[in-house]
Each structure stands twice: as C-alpha cells, then as structure tokens.
A and B are shown apart, each in its own frame.
Chain A
Amino acid sequence: MSTRANASNASTAKTNLIDSPPRHGVLGTNAARPDGIAKVQGGFAFSNDMWAENMLFGATLRSPHPFATVVSIDVTEAWKIAGVEAIITAEDVPGKSTYGLIMTDQPVFAAVGDDVRYAGEPIAAVAADHPETCRRALAAIKVVYNVKVPVTNAEDCIADRAPLIHPDGNIFRHQRIVCGDQSVVGEIQVEGEYEVGMQDQAFLGLESALAVPDSGNTGIELYVATQWLHEDRHQIAECLGLAEDKVRLVLGGVGGAFGAREDISLQVHTCLLAFATSRPVRISYGREESFYGHVHRHPAKIWMRHHADRDGRIVKIESRMVLDGGAYCSTSPAVLINGITHTQGPYKCDNAVVDGWAVRTNNPPCGAMRGFGVVQACYAHESQMEKLAVAVGKSSVEVRLLNAMETGDRLITGQIMDSVAPVAECIRATDAIALPEPLSASPLALPGGTGLTADQSHIRRGIGWGVSMKNLMYSEGFDDFSTARCRLEDGVASLKFATSEVGQGFTMLAQQIARSVLGVDDVILETIDTSVGSAGSTSASRQTWMSGGAVQAACQSVLADLLDHVSTAKAWTREFIELENTDIVNRSTGERISVHEASSGQRFERTEEYRHPPTEDLDENGQGNCHVAFAFVAHRAVVDVDPELGLIKVVQIATAQDVGRALNPLSVQGQIEGGIAQGLGLAVMEEIVVQDGKVRNPSFTDYLLPTFLDMPVVDMVLIEEHEPKSPLGAKGVGEPPCISVTPAIANAIRQAVGRDLPRVPIRPFDIALG
C-alpha cells in the first residue's frame, strides 16, 4: 500500500495497526522530539558548547604537505608563549601509536622519521588558555619536512607503478564478483565511464570534544560528538594505553554526522592534552580544520557495460569500480564491497563480472558517508539505464519496470533477495506524481537565481529518473548488535542505550517504542554513554532496526515481568493477561488495571541485545550472503537548465520510498527531504577540489552546499509494506533518499542539453563548454 506522507491519513492508517485509537506519542504518530524545545531555544548543548571549570583550549598542528618525511619538530619557541600549558607529539602517545576502524594504520601523530601521507595529517597538539594562544603556539612550532612527490592517481597504485605509501601497502582491497554465464553477449550493449567527485558530509556542528581527567590521571571522561561511542572508546583506550573501563565516553550534542563521525578525529588528542595538563581540555575544530579532520565520500571512477536483449532486458553487466581511499584505510574495504555488490541496482541480472579496487593515495582519507559506496554505483547504473532506454527505444520508466527486481530474485552475489522489494511500486508511484508547473515567470526561480543571468527563453527543461537499492545494517559477517536497558518504576519507563542521536530522531523513536510496547506515557531517557553495552554505529540506516529492536526487546521483557507480577499479585491466569493501550487486561474476566497502578511501588529492569541474522564474507568470486536486508526508492527530477551558461535549477523531485512502516511519518519525511538535498548537492555543486593532494576549497565559501533557493519542493509517497524481518516492520530511511536522486538530476540535465556529462558534480563549464 502507499500513502502520501504529508496526508494525515498516512499516520492514522498505520497507527491503527497497533493502537486504536492512537495515543499521543506512540509508534506511527508524529511524536515530539525530546530534544526539540532545547534545540529551538538555543539551550541544547552541542559538543562545542561544553565547558568545564579550569578548562583549557586545544588545537592541532597539521602537515601542509600531502607526502613528506618529518625530519624534525622543534617546539622550543612555542613553549615561550605565555599561556601555553602543553605541547604533545608522537613521542607522548603512551599506547598504540595508530588507530583505525578496519586497519589500525593511521598515526595519532606523524612521528619524526615517519611520513605524513596527506595534507592535514596531525603532527602535534597544544593546550593553552585561549584559542588565539593556541594558534600562535602552533605557528611557532618548527617542523622540517623532506617533501616527496605525492601519489594522487589511483590507477598508478593498481598498476603497481607508485612508490609504497605505507608499510601496509597501497591496495586496501581488491574484490571480484563473477556470477552466471560469462559468455553471454547482449544484442544491445551500452557502455559508459563515470566519475564521482569527492563529497563532504559537511555537518554543521563541527568536531568537538571535552576531556576531563580523573584525579591522578587514572582515567578519563570524554564528552564527544560521535556516531559510535564504544568503538571510539576501544580505539582511544588502546592509544592511551588504558583499560577500556578507565575511558568513559559521554555523547556530546551532535550537530549532524552523515558518516563523518564514524572514524575518530580529535578524541585521542584531547585526552592526551588533558592528561598532560591534568586539566579539562576542549578541542573544537573550525570549518577548515574539519575538512582535514574527517574522512570524505570516496571519489570513484566506474566503467560499466550493460548487455540486454532487444526489448531491454538486462542479460549481463560488466563493471570496474575504482575508489580512491586516500591516505588511510578507514572503512574503504567495506565501502568497496557495498559499491560493487550494488552494481546491478534494483534490477534483475543473472550474469555479471565486476572488478573492484579501493586503493591508498596521498589524497585526503575517505570513508563513510551516507550511501556508503552505493551512491557511486547507483550513479553509474542509473546513467546506464538511461542509455539502455534510448538504445531500445523505451521510456525511462518502461525500461526500469521491465527489469525491476522482486523478492526471491538471486543477486549477483548469489544471495537471494528476501526483503520486501517493491521496486515496481516505487517506480509507478513516483510516475503518478504530478509534474510541476511550466517555467516560472520569476527570474529568481530560473537557473542563476539571484544572479539574474537568464530569461525564460534561455531555459530548457529536462526530466530524469533514478532508482536504487540500498543494503541496511552491517555486512560481511560483522557481529552487528545493539543493547538497550528498560526500567519501569511507578508507571514511568526509563531507557538507557548508547545509541548516538545525531539528529535523526532515535531518542524520539525510543520513547515511541516504550509507549507502544509498555503502555506508559512518560519515558525518561538516560544519558547516552558507555555505561551500557554497545549500540553499534549510527550509520548504515541501521539504528531504527537495530537499536529500535533492542529497545523493543528490553521493553517486551519488562512487560513480561510486569504481566507475571500482575498475574501473581491479582491471581489472574497468566495466559489471559495482556496489554491494551495503557491498561493490563484480564481477557477472561474483563478486569483491568493500568500499567501505572500495576507498577506502582515496583521496579522492573531488563537489558537486552538485538542481533540481526548473521551474514557471510564474500568468496574470491564475490559470492556469499553478505547483506542483511535492502530498501528501495525511486526518484524523478525535473530540472531547468541554462545550456549556454551551464546553470541549473532543480524544479521538483518526485519520490516514492520503500520504508517498511513509517514509525514517525514527519521524521521520515524530514529524512527523505534532507537526503535529497545532499544528493542534489552531489549532482550539481558539492565537491572537495583536490589538486596535487591538497584541498583547494576547505571552506563554506567554496565548498558549496544547497541553499533554500537551490532545493526544490519534494513530492513524496511512502510505500509502506511491513518488512517481516524487521523488529518493528520498518526499514531504515536515512540513506536511500540521497542515492538515486543524484543520477535522476544528472539524467534530467542530460536530457535537457543532449550531452553525455559522465561526471558529477556537473559543473557549469561541463554543460556550457566541451
């Protein structure tokens, strides 16, 4: 079934499945965010709002060179500056000198005699009484480098003609997928070479952490904006040489994440400075440093050839994907697997040969960003689908419907699609959304906007499509779990978990789950920290499913205890007792007691872990059940183009998304609109420009994000088909919206100007010249 997201019947229709009549704040309603009031009043404490008595400011010295040997570091002059309290370098790291999510290949600081491998790599850190003192101290540190020629071309690493950048090698991962009959040749073949630029997550709330050492420096408390407290703790403790229980992490207010907080950045530095001074230290990055401080979306080069029969049915796909992982590994191997296993997109395909590489260069390190490899793959396969449509004389919609994947299909990895797979429904529902009004009469609404560059006669309109498939949760055998504790006392539930709330609204959802499962209205959220088991990362569209599953399980366990208690206390037969809204009802006698009353003077507490079914590694032919579940989405973009100047105005995005079940329809809508804005950014403006290993535009003046005037109206339909594998019937909704909107916009521009435009972001000069 499908419902309009902004129509009120969407929420009521779904709510009736669980609660009738709907109660305020339960699953399926637009429950209020628990952090909402603080956020609109400016009182919400983001990690860089935090402050402690006697606190010092910290700052990091970074290499200006992408590849160089550190010959010497002289801190003498910096120590002479009044107000400087600590200066630390690689020598001051007491534990493991490197860290990383998959390989521990990234140094906390580059040591004398070792190499810096990207421009922006940390060399030293200082703590002082004022940020300006820090800046002067950094400027006074003298570092001598032996500068080397950086390796900036991924192909040089694959061909083994680049110098070794790191002892661990220049290849992060090479993986092939070979499936079906290699000899199949399609009557129709379409081919293309595509390129995706380096996108930045560009969260607004910059990296920040406040470290408070225990007296005697025996342990430390770190308040930090992160996506995964426990993984951070693991890496920090190793570098500090401390047992994990001596390192306590508390989630600082997170101003967006989008993948950029999955790796650690300033965590170890902040702790080391706090230990060095025995005082609280806060490091807060500025915007420029943020561009050096976190990983970015992998730039990619992808070649694809689709073979099809004369009707346009795909019979084989050949592809080669190369991801430039930059200087350090981060999550590059996992991003690569995601990318190549999504080569086919949401389409049936029996035969494939895919070759994937993720390599090390002296470019900025790349890792997780919303979409995680699938953005790159989708850009290529949806560009190909448009070529296929033209080649067989079918419409964009027809060719996609013809190939649309269904539940039960075998993927190119050999895995059977066992998720609900409403691909055709997504396409049809999107196609049914009305097209926008013809060209606007207002010059402001034309490409060029406030620049008043165009008149109506200069504009051509294009329509483009993109459809995508996105895996949910972690893959390839990862032991993926989340933990939650529920306590019920006097009719009030309290929830404890380590799930990072980064803005997506999990805290709100957790309250909704407790209200629905436990029949309570008041749900207290305890501090999000490491004093409970891991929740895994807020990434991979996984927290609604994983931490939602954990909270649900903990609440269900508490409910079972409560029902046992009522059974004993009231001498009701256990099997006849159940929850109905906020009451516990004896089905045999019709007697009832409110949850509030039943739990009065009682305390029930349960901690539960939720695990999804195990997955497998891929074998050397890329075969294996490596993914857990999938979600699907279709996008149609209407774009006005000024071909002569190459300027763009996206007029409308129509979309239908497979969400399983909309647990909070307004939040789903917000995720979809926000994801689309990021996909739009990648299509037409967002790119970290790297030249000879150096970032040329590390600022919001030159790294352009979509403004209010760049983002069009989004008309959406939610495809709500309960996912039986999901604990709440819902699929993650965070990543799918930002994936196929990028090729949809690119295809619309191509249609408008009749050009190939193989690269995103599509720049004005790509359209106007060439």
Chain B
Amino acid sequence: MVEVNLHGRALSTVISLRQVTELREWQYRPTISRLTIGAGVPYAQMESGEIARLVPALSQAARTVGSPQIRAAGTLGGNLGTCSPAGDGLPVLAALDAIIHVIGPDGARDIEWADFMVGVKKNSLLPGEFVHSVSLPVLEGWQGYAKVGTRNAMVIATASACLVRDSDEGLVTVALGAVGPTVIRCRQAEKWLASTIDLRHGAALDADIANEFGRRVRLEALPIDDHRSTAEYRRHAVGVLATRLLVRSFA
C-alpha cells in the first residue's frame, strides 16, 4: 500500500486475502513440537498469549513491529513477501530455521528459511506463489530478540538480533537483521560457541566468552552505510546485542 500511496506503483491485479480465514489461523502440535502460523496472523496476536509462550523471541520481535496499528494488520506473510533485511520477524525465523509453506499454481511446497531469502527484498517465491504459513520448532531453552533503532518505539531496525538457545541440543543460533542484504545467520560464531562452552546446562557464562562471541558475530555482519545509520555502527551494534542476548540466556 505504501508503494501505491507514495511511489505510484501501478496495480494490475489485486487479490484480497483478508477473508481467507485459513491464513489467519495458527496451530501447535505438541507431538512434533512445532508451531504453524498462518501467513495472515497479525503480529498483535503474537505479542502475548500462547504463541508468545511457545516462541518468546517471536513475541519480542512482534512487539517491535511498527506501531500497535501496524501490528494489528502486519503479518509474517507480509514480512516474508517484502523480504526487507530489516523485517522484524525475519531474524526469528532465521534463528529457528523456519520452514515456509507456499502455495502456487503448481501446488504446495516447503522452502527452508536458508533458501527463502535470497537478497534485498528478494525471495525465492516463483511467480504466482504466495506464503501460506510458517512452521517453527518449539524449543526448550532461552530465546530473545533485540532491536536497535533511533527511537524508543515505532522505528525501523538499524540493527537487530535474535538468539535462540536449544538446551536439548546444546546449541545457540543467532540471526541478524538490517546488517546485510539478507538476514544473516552467524554460523561461524555459533560453531565457535558450541565448541567452546557447554550450552546444555545453565552453567555460568564467562564475560570474556560473551564478549568474544559478540566480536565473532560482528565479523559475520555485512552492513552498509545509509541514511539511517553507518555500517560501522551497525557492525558494532549487532556485536553488543549478541553479547547481551547471550548473557541474558544464562541469567
């Protein structure tokens, strides 16, 4: 709509999904510990309640999306369709290795997160395909999302990070927003951390480890300068966020 309002984007065909109730549903299947969220579920519904309890990082990200009015209308489907690196929901999907269910002229298919976002505002949807829902694992362990912006509410991320600790598997995953052409998974830093400390149990975290983790996360960012911030600051900020989130996960 912003494209139409501001940039004169011409519309040839408009398909309204507002009344397709199936897209506005979510379902938790405890047997496989997975949560499926319809592409049309508004972020407001993720801020609290059952979805927030199952995937706390998603609820924290949801709470930072635009304004309350935007969250009443904005959806994961929208974030995935636009595929902005600053989309608040996307680092959570990346850190959780979400699976994107899409439907198109040739039927349904699943796309793993790693294959979904391919560039700035570019995804791997084929012509005629749209996002139906997103499937996320429900994990044991701390998870959180943090976002840096110049204002204390209603702001586009200048840098964001999601950290998920899978206590069963002894893994930490980290994904970064707004510091590269796509959302970035910090696989090197993740690997280093898993090989350096035991993430399975709640043992105390050495401050040096947390700082080194932040330093390694920084190295994996691919930020740019733009009118919102500088590459240097963005790189710095994701490092700080990663360190702080890791510390929180041990608190």
Contacts and interface: CB of A to CB of B under 8 A. Distances in A.
Interface of A: 132, 135-136, 139, 286, 288, 447-455, 458, 644-647, 649, 684-685, 689, 691, 696-697, 699, 701-702, 704, 706-710, 763-765, 768-769
28 contacts: A288-B6, A449-B152, A449-B153, A450-B153, A451-B148, A451-B160, A452-B60, A452-B64, A452-B144, A452-B145, A452-B146, A453-B146, A453-B147, A453-B148, A453-B241, A645-B237, A647-B148, A649-B152, A704-B151, A704-B155, A706-B151, A763-B150, A763-B229, A764-B148, A764-B158, A764-B233, A765-B229, A768-B240
B227 A689 contact: yes
Given A448-B148, A452-B144, A707-B154, A645 B240 contact: yes
A764 B229 CA distance: 8
A769 B233 contact: yes
Contacts of B63: 450
A694 to B, nearest CB: 10
B153 A135 contact: no
A699 B150 contact: no
B248 A455 contact: yes
Given A647-B148, A704-B150, A765-B236, 7 more contacts: A132-B8, A450-B153, A451-B149, A452-B145, A453-B148, A702-B227, A763-B229
A135 B8 CA distance: 7
Interface string B150-169: 11111111101000000000
B124 interface: no
Contacts of A448: 146-148, 152
B244 interface: yes
A696 B229 CA distance: 12
Contacts of A701: 156
Contact of A451 (B146, B227, B230): B146
B71 to A, nearest CB: 11
B230 A765 contact: yes
Nearest to A289: B6
B148 A645 contact: yes
In the A-B complex, the 3 residue pairs with the smallest Cβ-Cβ separation, listed nearest first, are A449-B152, A765-B233, A696-B227
B151 A710 contact: yes
A180 to B, nearest CB: 43
Nearest to A644: B240
A135 B9 CA distance: 11
Contacts of B25: none
B151 A685 contact: yes
Nearest to A701: B156
B228 interface: yes
B233 A451 contact: no
Nearest to A765: B233
B231 to A, nearest CB: 10
Nearest to B65: A450
B229 A458 contact: no
B237 A707 contact: no
A288 B6 CA distance: 8
A702 B237 CA distance: 19
B153 A452 contact: no
Contacts of B156: 701-702
Contacts of A708: 153
Nearest to A135: B8
B22 interface: no
B50 interface: no
B244 A710 contact: no
B232 interface: yes
A436 B155 CA distance: 27
B203 to A, nearest CB: 20
A61 to B, nearest CB: 13
Contacts of A458: 244
A765 B240 CA distance: 13
Given A696-B227, A708-B153, A139 B8 contact: yes
B227 A697 contact: yes
A450 B64 contact: yes
A679 to B, nearest CB: 16
Contacts of B155: 451, 704
A710 B152 contact: yes
A765 B232 contact: yes
Nearest to B145: A452
A286 B157 CA distance: 24
Interface in B230-251: 230, 232-233, 236-237, 240-241, 244, 248
Contacts of B158: 764
A701 B230 CA distance: 17
A702 B228 contact: yes
B157 to A, nearest CB: 8
A678 B15 CA distance: 42
Nearest to A449: B152
A399 B222 CA distance: 48
B3 to A, nearest CB: 13
B154 A453 contact: no
Given A709-B152, A709-B153, A768-B236, A451 B229 contact: no
Contacts of B5: 286
A708 B152 CA distance: 9
Contacts of A644: 240
A707 B6 contact: no
Given A451-B148, A452-B147, A768-B233, A710 B240 contact: no
A721 to B, nearest CB: 37
Contacts of B153: 449-450, 707-710
Nearest to A685: B150
Contacts of A707: 151-154
A451 B64 contact: yes
A551 to B, nearest CB: 41
A448 B160 CA distance: 12
Contacts of A135: 8
A593 to B, nearest CB: 58
User: Which of B151, B227, B237 has the most chain A CB atoms closer than 10 A to its own CB?
Assistant: B151
User: Which of B150, B154, B228, B248 has the most chain A CB atoms closer than 10 A to its own CB?
Assistant: B150
A288 B158 CA distance: 21
Interface string B1-35: 00001101000000000000000000000000000
Contacts of A139: 8
A702 B153 CA distance: 13
A140 to B, nearest CB: 12
Contacts of B151: 449, 685, 704, 706-707, 709-710
A769 B148 contact: no
B244 A453 contact: yes
Contacts of B64: 450-452
Contacts of B157: 451
A684 B227 CA distance: 15
User: Which of A451, A455, A645 has the most chain B CB atoms closer than 10 A to its own CB?
Assistant: A451
Contacts of B146: 448, 451-453
B250 to A, nearest CB: 13
